[in-house]
Amino acid sequence: MRFNTIELRKRKRLSKSIKKKVFQKNKKKISLLLLTLLITFTVFTIETEAFYISNNLENRYTLDLENTETYDALTILNCKIEEGFANSILYINPYLNYNYQDEDLDFGIEEAYVDLYFTDVDLRIGKQQITWGKADGLVVTNLVNPRDYTRYPIFEYEEQFQAVNAVKTNYYFGSDSLELIWLPEFQPALIDSDLIAANLEGFKIDNTNIEIETKLENSELLMRYSSLGYDYDYELIAGYIWDDQVTFHNKISIPPDNHPFMTIIPEHHRLMVVGGSFSTIQGSFVLRGEGTYTIGKHYNINSKDIMEYKDGVVEKELFKWLAGIDYNYQGYQFSYQLLQEAILDYEDSIEQDQFTYQMTFMVKKPFFRETMDTELSFYYDTVQEQLMVKPKIVYDYSDQINFSLGANYQLEGQRKDDVLYFSTEYLF
């Protein structure tokens, strides 16, 4: 399935033939925002031990290099409010986005949770992001939060993941810890539904099975044991989770008129995952590794063999691993990562290749006493068959104001998602 983000975004805008005034269109959202702020400030004026608020006002402009036109123009207000009590912290991170292209005001809560601290136990309840693993930008063991594929380009690492409602418990034993996570409700990966519809044009789609009902037996459980040591740090993980991405089952129907047609039935499947990660130092090099073994992964069959498999899918086991190396030389930071996915007991009828690879290479260097960060990274993906280069410069004009300039440019590949972006950020 080939997605072209830029083309689909344009089609969405053109389809909006009626443009309403900002205030009338977003009246409900503005009212909800004001109500939330009122409640938040009322609650947070209760006397506490510590109160901290940090706001981030950012303007982002993204230019579509292919068509030399505006791809996106956003203003984002992000607030992080933290209130400390005797043995607990209340944290809320609301945001407000205004999209100039769509004239759309979006308000939401990025994270909101309470932390409770006991002697050797921490408890976090609420909407949160949880990061596992040693990889940068690639996902192997970082399985808790589902991806958000609708965001493009990615400005901050956390933007590619969605926060989830979870109960997280940590037990501490010296430098080791055991983390248990319960996700009571399933949250799928966020993919632009118009993108899917465009790629499945011509087929009938049955979404009956796509929803996962919120009930105890449908909840997700994950566990992580981590340790910091002299020779190496490591994590061991296990999870009983849902596949965040759907598998498209195919049902062939032959009606009385003998004209067969295919119905696409998207479904999520249960996965069992075990794995781990580690990092260690060898001289000036930092070596990192991750690996997972997954049971329950489903794959589509190619069209010529589709009739030989029930629903046109097959269940296989997956082994995924990553190796990374970091090196610092006279202030230049080099980082290389290689990720491989290997479908075990492979059959040639499977649409996806048995082995797929992703690679990243990055060089970073700060200048002018770390007021300017420069970064040049390359990303190669055998599934999308693309080689992308991502240069980026971030300049700290002051401790409150910074500017970013970057680009995502394809050197090879069929997708044309080349963009140039610029942002200004004010912290207060």
Partner 1 sequence: MMRKYFLSTVMILTLLIMASFSGGLSEFVNAEGMDISGKEVMEKVYNRDAGDNRQSNLKMILINKHGSERVRELKQLSASFAGVDKKIMFFISPKDVRGTSFMNWSYQDGRADIQWIYLPALRKVRRISSESKSDYFMGSDFTYDDMGDRKLEDDKHRLLKTEEINGEFCYLVENIPVEKDSIYSKTITWVLKDKWIELKKEFYDQEGKLLKELRVEEYHGIDGILTVTISEMENFQSDHKTQLIVSEVEYNSNIAESEFTERNMRTGL
| Chain residues that interact with partner 1, rule: CB under 8 A | 54, 115, 117, 122, 129-131, 133-134, 156-158, 170, 172, 174-175, 177, 226, 228, 230, 233, 279-281, 283-286, 326, 328, 331, 366, 369-371, 396, 398-400, 402, 427-428
Dist CA 102 CA 245 (whole Å): 27
Dist CA 95 CA 72 (whole Å): 18
DSSP per residue, 257-322: T---EEEEEEE--EEEEEEEEEEEEETTEEEEEEEEEEEEEEEEBPGGGGGGSGGGEEEEEEEEEE
23 or 368: CB nearest partner 1: 368
54 or 414: CB nearest partner 1: 54
180 or 228: CB nearest partner 1: 228
List 275's β-bridge partners, or say none: 237, 292
Closest separation in Å from C-beta 418 to partner 1: 26
Closest separation in Å from C-beta 143 to partner 1: 14
Residue the block writes with tokens 């300017």: 372
153 or 266: CB nearest partner 1: 153
351 or 396: CB nearest partner 1: 396
161 or 379: CB nearest partner 1: 161
167 or 394: CB nearest partner 1: 394
Closest separation in Å from C-beta 361 to partner 1: 18
Q: How far is CA 321 from CA 288, 338, 355, 394, in A?
A: 11, 8, 11, 31
Cβ neighbours for 190, distance < 8 A, ≥ 6 positions apart: 146, 147, 148, 149, 150, 162
Are 36 and 62 contacting, i.e. CB atoms less than 8 angstroms apart?
no
Closest separation in Å from C-beta 188 to partner 1: 22
H-type alpha helices, 75-221: 193-199
Closest separation in Å from C-beta 201 to partner 1: 39
Closest separation in Å from C-beta 159 to partner 1: 10
Dist CA 359 CA 249 (whole Å): 30
List 170's β-bridge partners, or say none: 122, 179
Closest separation in Å from C-beta 134 to partner 1: 8
Dist CA 61 CA 155 (whole Å): 11
